[in-house]
Amino acid sequence: MSTTKPLTIDLNADAGESFGNWTLGHDSALFPLLTSVNLALGFHAGDPMTLHGAVRLAQEHGLGIGAHPGYPDLAGFGRRAMALSPQEIHASVVYQIGALSAFLTLEGAELQHVKAHGALYMRVHEDRAAGEAFCEALARLVPQAHLMVLAGAAGEELAHTAAAHGLSVRREAFPERAYTADGRLASRSLPGSSIHDPAEAARRAVQMAQGWVQTLEGERLEMRVDTLCIHGDNPQAVSIAQHIGAALAEQGLRLAPLGKRTPTGQVAPPTHHVAALYHRPESEAEQLTLPRLAEALLASGLPGLRDVVPAYKSLYVEYDPAQLGAEKLRGWLAQAEVQDADTGRQVEIPVCYDGEDLPEIAERTGLSAAEVARLHAEPTYRVRALGFVAGFPFMETTPGPLQLPRRATPRPAVPPHSLAMAGAQTGIYPAAAPGGWNLLGRTLTAVYDPHRADPFLVRPGDEVRFVAQHGGDPLPAPTPRLLWPAEPGFPALRVRKPGIMGLLMDGGRLGQGRFGLVRSGVLDAQAATIANDLLGNAPGSAVLELHLTGPTLEVLGAGAIACTGLGLQAQVNGEALPPYSSRQVQPGDVISFVPDGQGRVSYLAVSGGFEVSPFLGSASTDVRARLGRPLQAGDVLGYAARPAPQHVARQFVPYWVTQRPALTRLRLLPVADGETIPDEALDALCAEPFQLVDLDRMAARLAGHAVPGGEITSEAAPIGTVQVPPSGVPLILLNDKGTLGGYSRPARVHPDDLPHLVQLLAGRQIQFVPGQG
């Protein structure tokens, strides 16, 4: 029998076994060392509170979650034989998995696998009728889940039965148990049948991962192994898991969960929300074609593309892995043919060279102000990327004599339309923004105007010539483009008092990163989704995102509202609305909000969603890009459609909201497909907690120990990216981050953990932990 050494292997343990006043196992210490868990379901061990907590803990650590049904035998821990009929086995398995499925649904988790426990485990392997009943229950109830069976000869009968029912099988071996020459587990009554030495268990785990194990008789037994199991109730379980992880790593084997089963029956790793990859051509000629490649990819019709952002040396691609695989995407990029880099548009921009820094630039270069202006206007510049703020063009190449470094102290606000340079780059500030570039002058044509039919004067790949002009009135700053109609069809709410910051939001602006537009969208996607779900709205319907104080709103038309999130308690006519709930409202009702100190951001949804006037496919506010603005007194917002005449009040509070720990754990993932988190950075990030200093829509800023960081060539990155500047103090990039960044970015936060992060108040503790996608 030939075996192939796997690159990854799963490490599982039985867990969630405490019940009532009895505590069993070492779940809190063990879970960080595992990749999958088998959760007791209340028959042989466990209870509802323990099961729910174990699901949440498994989610926090990115573990594959498995159902562990057993005999109804608390006193005997499910290890005593019971004469249940096949029909009783079938019913009891459905009953137990149903309990776990409810908690998985509650927490937004998925079932990875099923593994029978104790005496039931042995019976379904040895009794064909029991095995048939067990597999039939799984095939009817959870056909997508893997079934764990014994590795070796002892598991082949059950594996055959499972395959006949269309189930996916994963073979399990036990490093703590000895095997006999016939491929079966040695009886616990035999000397040496149980392994108590962690180092010996680790040695056997490496053997099993490599496809064999030494038997009790000293012979070599080959076996196929997909997952290794350690017993969670073993007093040495934590030490054994630590030794196994270290031993496997030394052999180049990586721990990873089993993953989920695709419709074709193949196994894919668990995926959440979005994925990303980078295309990095080596030659400068290919790098110059990246803007064209981005446009071609967006026009390709490939399903699942969310954004494509070219930079100087890379192309960032964000996609939905449920619709588009990384290999298919890489294949398209490898075979794509694009036009030559010199086929971009040629754009002339009139410029008045009268910038605040012009005299200093002249002095530092030894030129006159007129010579600086003439020299700067001579070349043709190429737009390499748009970023920083919407429409800001990064252009090359500034003439050598003018290549000065950034100012030592950045300005808090550079005037809009400023022409500036730093090093070899020239850029134009479309709107007022902080910056440290040297100001040469101002453009007489706006490079970005959200009210124009084409908001962007230049695009990546274009060639630009500056035409010097004398005088000319300064251009006004761009005015906001409203994202809701001035006269809604079905008036819903009038703003009496705006509060500090109320913003219209939806799922975010996709596919526009190449123009420097931020993604925007709701910060707490879970809370916003629940608000819409409570009202039966379409996914992604526009909501109000409320910060700090919240507005006072007058109801103009009958309908229903829902309020979710943390930080504000909604009131209708002075009566408190329960958290995460909905209710009917009538004309004349007054909706107000009272800060409760529990979080940062809340959401208000209305029946059918708010009526919107989207810009580039989204109604999400982007204040810096002048897309929308915070609420103002007198604003009138409308229902997207006439509301239903009746609404039944509903409430759904996520479990984590009611059980918020003092220390918030954030799972770390690689930033993109094909990448890994550098060991040095991962060790430093996870070494000890950080303190949250501040958080806004751009980033969460932390304080704590230093992490290896530095500068990189600017490129795009996903929301949740952990960025580490040369100071070594990390920050976590959020929805309104710049589209391009030039600092080290070793990892990103698991998307499912971002709702927990964005609700934290300053001073709270954050602990990074390794996670699985």
What tens digit of pLDDT does each residue of 245-283 get?
A: 999 888 877 788 887 543 333 333 333 468 999 999 999
Residues forming beta bridges with residue 308, ordered by sequence position: 317
Pairing of strands 168-173, 227-230: parallel
Place of tokens 């959440």: 272
What pLDDT does residue 772 have? 67
The 3-state secondary structure of 412-434, one letter per residue:
EEECCCEEEEECCEEEEECCCEE
Place of tokens 């960044």: 741
**Cα(476)–Cα(432) distance, integer angstroms:** 11
Q: What is the pLDDT of residues 601-640, one digit of tens each?
A: 999 999 999 999 999 989 999 998 999 999 999 999 999 9
Per the CB < 8 A criterion, the answer to whether 564 and 547 are in contact is no
Q: Which helix (H) or strand (E) holds 230?
A: strand 227-230
Q: What is the pLDDT of residues 523-578, one digit of tens each?
A: 999 999 999 989 988 888 999 999 989 999 999 999 999 999 999 999 999 999 99
Q: Mind giving me the DSSP string for 96-144?
A: HHHHHHHHHHHHT--EEEE---HHHHHHHHH-HHHHHHHHHHHHHH-TT
Q: What is the pLDDT of residues 468-527, one digit of tens each?
A: 998 888 899 889 999 999 999 999 999 999 999 999 999 999 999 999 999 999 999 999
Fill in the amino acid letter for 206.
V
What pLDDT does residue 272 have? 43
What pLDDT does residue 698 have? 93
Per the CB < 8 A criterion, the answer to whether 528 and 755 are in contact is no
Per the CB < 8 A criterion, the answer to whether 563 and 581 are in contact is yes
Residues 177-180: contacts with CB under 8 Å, at least 24 apart: 178/215, 178/216, 179/152, 179/213, 179/215, 179/216, 179/221, 180/215, 180/216, 180/217
Per the CB < 8 A criterion, the answer to whether 492 and 610 are in contact is yes
* DSSP-derived secondary structure letter, 378: S
**Cα(89)–Cα(131) distance, integer angstroms:** 9
CA count, 13 A, side-chain hemisphere, 190: 13
What pLDDT does residue 505 have? 97
Place of tokens 């204040």: 623
Residues forming beta bridges with residue 677, ordered by sequence position: none
Place of tokens 């294949």: 331
How many Cβ atoms are within 10 Å of 614's Cβ, its own excluded? 14
| Residue 196: partners with Cβ closer than 8 Å, 6 or more residues away | 176, 236
Per the CB < 8 A criterion, the answer to whether 420 and 356 are in contact is no
Record the tokens describing residue 184, joined without a space. 């079966």
* DSSP-derived secondary structure letter, 624: G
Task: For the chain, list residues with pLDDT below 70.
Answer: 1-7, 260-273, 339-344, 772-773
To the nearest 10°, report the CA torsion of 356, 357, 363, 366: -110
* DSSP-derived secondary structure letter, 92: H
Residues forming beta bridges with residue 481, ordered by sequence position: 627
The pTM for the full model equals 0.66
Per the CB < 8 A criterion, the answer to whether 761 and 692 are in contact is yes
Place of tokens 């319907």: 541
Which of these, 732, 543, 578, 756, lies nearest to 107 by C-alpha position? 756
Phi first, then psi, for residue 645 (nearest 5°) are: -70, -25
The 3-state secondary structure of 493-547, one letter per residue:
EEEEECCCEEEEECCCCCCCHHHCCCCCCCCCHHHHHHHHHHHCCCCCCCEEEEE
293: helix, strand or coil:
helix
**Cα(17)–Cα(665) distance, integer angstroms:** 23
What pLDDT does residue 746 have? 95
The 3-state secondary structure of 687-738, one letter per residue:
CCCEEEEEECCCEEEEECCCCCCCEEEEECCCCCEEEECCCCCCEEECCCCC
Question: What's the chain's length in residues?
Answer: 773
**Cα(255)–Cα(278) distance, integer angstroms:** 24
Q: CA separation (Å) from 48 to 16, 52, 232?
A: 10, 6, 19
Record the tokens describing residue 23, joined without a space. 């505590």
Which of these, 50, 117, 47, 44, lies nearest to 75 by C-alpha position? 44
What pLDDT does residue 265 have? 34
Q: Which helix (H) or strand (E) holds 577?
A: none
Q: CA separation (Å) from 593 to 506, 528, 563, 568?
A: 21, 17, 10, 6
What pLDDT does residue 340 have? 62
606: helix, strand or coil:
strand
**Cα(69)–Cα(56) distance, integer angstroms:** 19
3-state helix, strand and coil shares in percent for the chain, rounded to the nearest 5? 25, 30, 45
**Cα(755)–Cα(523) distance, integer angstroms:** 7
Which of these, 242, 77, 259, 78, lies nearest to 175 by C-alpha position? 242
